[in-house]
């Protein structure tokens, strides 16, 4: 049994330490060496109900997206952007025109060629939903198709995050799909799943609540470089990938121990000792950057439309309570992280975090009284099938009750919650006040990629906060090129965030993954990728 823990590798790391650690990732083999065979059976962290990775930010749908779709650019293990579907790109002397050319031989699963029109339509749809995409479009004049394989992206003013936006590794990922699907309104899910990625979605075998099946796409042409995070050669080394959804962690653990599945994406930490008792199973943290827990508020309805109530909630909780409820074992989480943009990242700072560092129930009650809270019911969505989410809901409910709030927990599965959180109506009409979630470090490392801090009202992420100062600072950051100036902006922004409270960062943790000895080639990466894996 092999086990890599987070302890010793991350604690006390200086700024950018996690990024440096990421550069140590083990990459895959050269693509031409692979011959696909076998079936990879795994337990995913949630059930797949929503199939459109642009419509939702849910990680289960993002993971599904990476099997089926591909991207123009991708992030490698050094957090640098590399061409993926793109053969390359050129930038005009004034920095305003990007000319992007697709690789030859790219084919969708329905046999049609991938064209520049498909890429443009896909990017336009993605940019309607994604925070980085929205910022990019705000400084663009537009796209223009040059020929079947070439298009241009023209800026109205210089912008330093063009490729970083097109190559972002996590939700929402700018996946490329056929134009006819990309023309689906961004507020609706695509009617079918047709991509050009290394696997194709077998819709006929899809059993929501039970099974999702993917088969190797014979006509996929991987890049020649070794696999590195989302970049390089995406070589399908198995013929079939099966997601077996098992909502009960104990049952899923027994399935892994019995050899009924090969890999368990997110085993409950309290069951790790049972898994470790089997010497044929590897337990490893494959994401060296970590994850941030999140408690998200609804800004449209009382009581959290009032920032004093949000501040009261933050005073009422502690990261220690959250982390022990979610993970239990302190080797898997940081003692405290007050950085909205992750500890160990390039924009780590603890300015403004005093409100979160120590629980203060008396101050929380004072703020509730000042806000005029009069007992409105608080509906907290509680996805009981995901331990890290369920733990956050329980801790939040207990903390709010301690300061005198009227709380109702609504139990459901994760898939139901990811649909429920899109509802804008009042909690009494099927809406919500709070939901728990988590974001990978790669999503949270800066003010543009971290869409949870975006405060653009109706265009913001679920919860729909609105704050002009936050948006001004995010714009300033996007246009700044000097690292010291970027850091100054981040510190000013974080002070505003702790005052406004777009969400509560419940702590930074490191999720282990487990797999049996018949599995090899699991990549060290923030996102679970299923290419490069072999099954004996």
- pLDDT tens digits, one per residue of 184-242: 999 999 999 999 999 999 999 999 999 999 999 999 999 999 999 999 999 999 999 99
Q: Are residues 318 and 451 in the same domain?
A: yes
Report whether pLDDT(11) > 90.
Answer: no
Q: Are residues 212 and 320 in the same domain?
A: no
In terms of Cα–Cα distance, which of 262, 256, 247 is closest to 533? 262
Q: Taking a C-beta distance cutoff of 8 angstroms, is the pair 505, 460 a contact?
A: no
H or E element that contains 363: helix 361-371
Calpha distance 282→517 (Å, rounded): 7
Calpha distance 66→237 (Å, rounded): 15
For residue 327, the number of C-alpha atoms closer than 13 Å in the C-beta half-sphere is: 22
* CATH number of 428's domain: 3.10.105.10
Whether residue 286 lies inside any domain: the answer is no
Our count of domains for the chain comes to: 2
Report whether pLDDT(4) > 70.
Answer: no
Greatest extent of the chain over all pairs of C-alpha atoms, in Å: 67
Q: Are residues 212 and 295 in the same domain?
A: no
| Mean pLDDT across 500-523 | 98
Which pair of structure tokens corresponds to residue 395? 């801790």
Secondary structure of residue 433 in the 3-state scheme? coil
| Degrees, nearest 5: CA angle 250-253-258 | 125
Report whether pLDDT(455) > 70.
Answer: yes
Calpha distance 27→226 (Å, rounded): 7
pLDDT (tens digit, 9 = 90+) per residue, 513-530? 999 999 999 999 999 999
Q: Would you give the DSSP letter of residue 46?
A: S
Q: Are residues 502 and 519 in the same domain?
A: no
Sole residue written with tokens 């696997």: 199
Q: Are residues 44 and 128 in the same domain?
A: yes
How would DSSP label each residue in 21-37? HHTTPPP---GGG----
pLDDT for residue 10? 33
pLDDT for residue 226? 97
Q: Taking a C-beta distance cutoff of 8 angstroms, is the pair 52, 69 a contact?
A: no
Q: Are strands 263-264 and 406-412 parallel, antiparallel or unpaired?
A: unpaired
Residues with Cβ within 8 Å of residue 113, at least 6 apart in sequence:
106, 107, 148
Identify the weakest region by mean pLDDT among 36-45, 250-259, 345-354, 492-501. 36-45
Whether residue 328 lies inside any domain: the answer is yes
pLDDT (tens digit, 9 = 90+) per residue, 369-414? 999 999 999 999 999 999 999 999 999 999 999 999 999 999 999 9
Calpha distance 117→120 (Å, rounded): 5
Q: What average pLDDT does the structure give for the chain?
A: 93
- Provide the residue count of the chain: 536
Q: Taking a C-beta distance cutoff of 8 angstroms, is the pair 232, 226 a contact?
A: yes
Calpha distance 236→221 (Å, rounded): 10
Q: Are residues 463 and 517 in the same domain?
A: no
Q: Give the residue numbers spanning the domain of 297.
A: 291-509
pLDDT for residue 361? 98
Report whether pLDDT(321) > 90.
Answer: yes
Whether residue 257 lies inside any domain: the answer is no
Q: Are residues 240 and 317 in the same domain?
A: no
Whether residue 231 lies inside any domain: the answer is yes
Q: Taking a C-beta distance cutoff of 8 angstroms, is the pair 169, 442 a contact?
A: yes
pLDDT (tens digit, 9 = 90+) per residue, 64-114? 999 999 999 999 999 999 999 999 999 999 999 999 999 999 999 999 999
Q: Are strands 240-244 and 211-216 parallel, antiparallel or unpaired?
A: antiparallel
Whether residue 190 lies inside any domain: the answer is yes
Q: Are residues 421 and 520 in the same domain?
A: no
Report whether pLDDT(364) > 50.
Answer: yes
Residues with Cβ within 8 Å of residue 187, at least 6 apart in sequence:
55
* CATH number of 141's domain: 3.40.190.10
Q: Who has greater pLDDT, 481 or 60?
A: 60
Q: Taking a C-beta distance cutoff of 8 angstroms, is the pair 295, 506 a contact?
A: yes
pLDDT (tens digit, 9 = 90+) per residue, 124-175? 999 999 999 999 999 999 999 999 999 999 999 999 899 999 999 999 999 9
| Mean pLDDT across 50-62 | 97
pLDDT for residue 481? 86
Q: Are residues 490 and 519 in the same domain?
A: no
Report whether pLDDT(29) > 50.
Answer: no
pLDDT for residue 37? 74
Q: Are residues 28 and 121 in the same domain?
A: yes
Whether residue 258 lies inside any domain: the answer is no
Q: Taking a C-beta distance cutoff of 8 angstroms, is the pair 337, 289 a contact?
A: no
Q: Are residues 133 and 19 in the same domain?
A: yes
Burial class of residue 47, CB neighbours in 10 A (0-12, 13-18, 19+):
buried
Q: Would you give the DSSP letter of residue 200?
A: E
In terms of Cα–Cα distance, which of 488, 438, 440 is closest to 79? 440
Whether residue 266 lies inside any domain: the answer is no
- Number of Cβ within 10 Å of residue 192's Cβ equals 15
| Degrees, nearest 5: CA angle 301-306-310 | 100
Whether residue 270 lies inside any domain: the answer is no
Residue 8 — pLDDT band, cuts 50, 70, 90? very low
Q: Are residues 525 and 462 in the same domain?
A: no
pLDDT for residue 259? 98
- Which residues on neighbouring strands pair with residue 504, listed in sequence order? 295
H or E element that contains 391: helix 387-402
């Amino acid at each position: 049994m092999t086990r890599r823990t987070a302890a010793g590798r991350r604690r006390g790391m200086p700024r950018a330490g996690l990024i440096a650690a990421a550069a140590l990732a083990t990459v895959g083999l050269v693509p031409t060496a692979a011959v696909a065979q076998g079936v990879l059976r795994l337990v995913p962290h949630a059930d797949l109900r929503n199939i459109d990775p642009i419509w939702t930010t849910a990680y289960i749908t993002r993971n599904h997206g990476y099997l089926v779709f591909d991207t123009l650019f991708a992030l490698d293990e050094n957090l640098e952007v590399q061409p993926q579907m793109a053969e390359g790109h050129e930038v005009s002397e004034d920095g305003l025109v990007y000319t992007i050319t697709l690789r030859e031989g790219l084919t969708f699963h329905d046999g049609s060629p991938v064209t520049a029109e498909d890429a443009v339509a896909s990017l336009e749809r993605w940019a309607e939903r994604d925070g980085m995409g929205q910022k990019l479009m705000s400084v663009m004049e537009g796209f223009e198709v040059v020929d079947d394989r070439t298009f241009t992206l023209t800026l109205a003013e210089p912008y330093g995050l063009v490729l970083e936006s097109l190559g972002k590794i996590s939700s929402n990922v700018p996946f490329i799909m056929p134009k006819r699907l990309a023309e689906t309104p961004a507020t609706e899910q695509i009617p079918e799943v047709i991509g050009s990625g290394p696997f194709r979605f077998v819709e006929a075998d899809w059993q929501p609540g039970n099974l999702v099946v993917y088969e190797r796409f014979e006509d996929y042409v991987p890049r020649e470089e070794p696999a590195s995070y989302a970049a390089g050669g995406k070589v399908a080394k198995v013929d079939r990938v099966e997601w077996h959804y098992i909502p009960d962690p104990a049952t899923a653990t027994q399935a892994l121990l019995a050899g009924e599945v090969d890999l368990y994406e997110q085993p409950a930490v309290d069951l790790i000792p049972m898994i470790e008792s089997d010497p044929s199973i590897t337990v490893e943290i494959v994401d060296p950057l970590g994850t941030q827990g999140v408690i998200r508020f609804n800004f449209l309805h009382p009581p959290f439309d009032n920032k004093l109530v949000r501040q009261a909630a933050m005073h009422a909780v502690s990261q220690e309570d959250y982390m022990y409820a979610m993970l239990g074992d302190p080797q898997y989480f940081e003692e405290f992280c007050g950085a909205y943009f992750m500890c160990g990242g390039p924009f780590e700072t603890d300015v403004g975090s005093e409100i979160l560092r120590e629980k203060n129930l008396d101050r929380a009650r004072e703020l509730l009284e000042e806000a005029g809270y009069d007992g409105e019911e608080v509906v907290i969505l509680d996805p009981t099938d995901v331990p890290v989410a369920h733990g956050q809901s329980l801790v939040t409910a207990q903390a709010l009750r301690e300061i005198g709030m009227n709380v109702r927990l609504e139990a459901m599965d994760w898939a139901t919650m990811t649909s429920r959180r899109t509802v804008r109506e009042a909690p009494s009409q099927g809406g919500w006040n709070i939901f728990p979630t988590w974001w990978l470090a790669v999503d949270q490392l800066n003010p543009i990629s971290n869409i949870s801090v975006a405060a653009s009202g109706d265009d913001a992420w679920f919860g729909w906060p609105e704050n002009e100062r936050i948006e001004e600072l995010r714009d300033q950051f996007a246009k700044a090129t000097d690292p010291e100036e970027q850091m100054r902006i981040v510190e000013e922004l974080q002070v505003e965030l702790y005052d406004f409270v777009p969400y509560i960062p419940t702590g930074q943790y490191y999720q282990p993954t487990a797999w049996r000895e018949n599995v090899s080639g699991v990549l060290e990466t923030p996102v679970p990728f299923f290419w490069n894996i072999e099954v004996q």
